[in-house]
């Protein structure tokens, strides 16, 4: 991250080419004048897979031999455990999820290795048409409700059979086959379930867990490309690994604080 203009970079080469940084204007936020309307309905679609994770550390006093022993710091954080909970709408797990713990000095490294294997497994699984593409289950009651509907459940527009994007379609969950409701063709085109990345949501990724992941996890993956959304030089709102590579996970702040 550039401390002058606050621009972020996912590769060191682009970061070095950015300098010298001489911005001709000060960064400022300009609020829109038009009315804002939520249109990203694809964000409302359930993920096929998601991993919830949390990290715990112990506090230890600095020894005289530590490099930072002469600083003002009195204690250091030593990660001791990482817990993960994989929730999948495709895999059948006991209780709806799969819990796993990683303990010891290499807990973060072991956790990142396991997440990488899981991301590759999910990518290979989702390449097949039958694994995550279940045909719609149409009941008589749902068909009747669908025929009587006049507006889209997402954007609330009125159906128009003459319009290509406002035609009525039978919107269903491709993971379970369950009927979601009547939708226009435009909204139905946007409701695509992302099958090429694995979201890992942390309880406090921005304020704490991202530090340990970067220092002891991502540093062990020299082949990974990191693409952070940085709030400051030390706080990352999210961290995408591997660039556009489909087999790499995406690390995020917990969306449910």
What's the pLDDT at 15?
Answer: 83
What's the pLDDT at 255?
Answer: 41
Tell the burial category of 64 from Cβ atoms under 10 Å away from its Cβ (0-12, 13-18, 19+).
Answer: exposed
Strands 198-202 and 249-253: parallel
Q: Tell me what the mean pLDDT of segment 189-209 comes to.
A: 84
DSSP line for 60-94: EEPPTTSTTTTSS--EEEEEEEEEEEEEESSS--G
What's the pLDDT at 34?
Answer: 85
What's the pLDDT at 77?
Answer: 85
List pLDDT tens digits, range 59-104: 888 776 656 545 667 788 888 999 999 998 877 655 567 899 999 9
Cα separations (Å) of 38 from 35, 43, 173?
A: 10, 10, 21
Supply 180's token pair: 């979601």
Kindly list the structural domains of the chain, giving each domain's residue range(s) and its CATH number in brackets, ordered by start: 41-130+194-253 (no CATH), 140-190 (3.40.1800.10)
- Flag whether pLDDT at 52 surpasses 60: yes
- Flag whether pLDDT at 118 surpasses 50: yes
- Record the pTM: 0.74
């Amino acid at each position: 991250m550039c401390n002058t203009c606050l621009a972020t970079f996912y590769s060191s080469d682009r970061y070095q080419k950015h300098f010298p940084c001489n911005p001709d204007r000060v960064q400022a936020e300009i609020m829109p004048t038009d009315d804002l309307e939520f249109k990203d309905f694809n964000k409302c679609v359930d993920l096929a897979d998601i991993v919830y994770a949390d990290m715990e550390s112990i506090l230890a006093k600095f020894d005289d031999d530590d490099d930072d022993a002469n600083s003002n710091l009195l204690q250091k954080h030593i990660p001791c455990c990482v817990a993960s909970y994989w929730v999948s709408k495709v895999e059948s797990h006991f209780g709806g999820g799969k819990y796993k713990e990683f303990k010891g000095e290499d807990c973060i490294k072991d956790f990142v290795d396991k997440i990488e294997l899981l991301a590759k497994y999910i990518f290979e699984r989702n390449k097949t048409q039958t694994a995550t593409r279940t045909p719609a289950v149409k009941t008589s009651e749902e068909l009747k409700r669908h025929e009587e509907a006049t507006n889209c459940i997402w954007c609330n527009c009125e159906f128009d059979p003459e319009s290509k994007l406002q035609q009525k379609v039978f919107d269903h969950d491709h993971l379970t086959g369950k009927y979601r409701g009547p939708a226009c063709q435009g909204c139905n085109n946007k409701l695509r379930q992302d099958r090429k990345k694995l979201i890992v949501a942390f309880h406090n990724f921005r304020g704490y867990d991202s530090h340990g992941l970067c220092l002891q996890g991502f540093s062990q993956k020299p082949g990974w490309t990191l693409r952070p959304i940085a709030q400051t030089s030390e706080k990352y709102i999210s961290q995408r690994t591997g660039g556009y590579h489909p087999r790499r996970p995406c690390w995020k702040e917990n969306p449910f604080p």
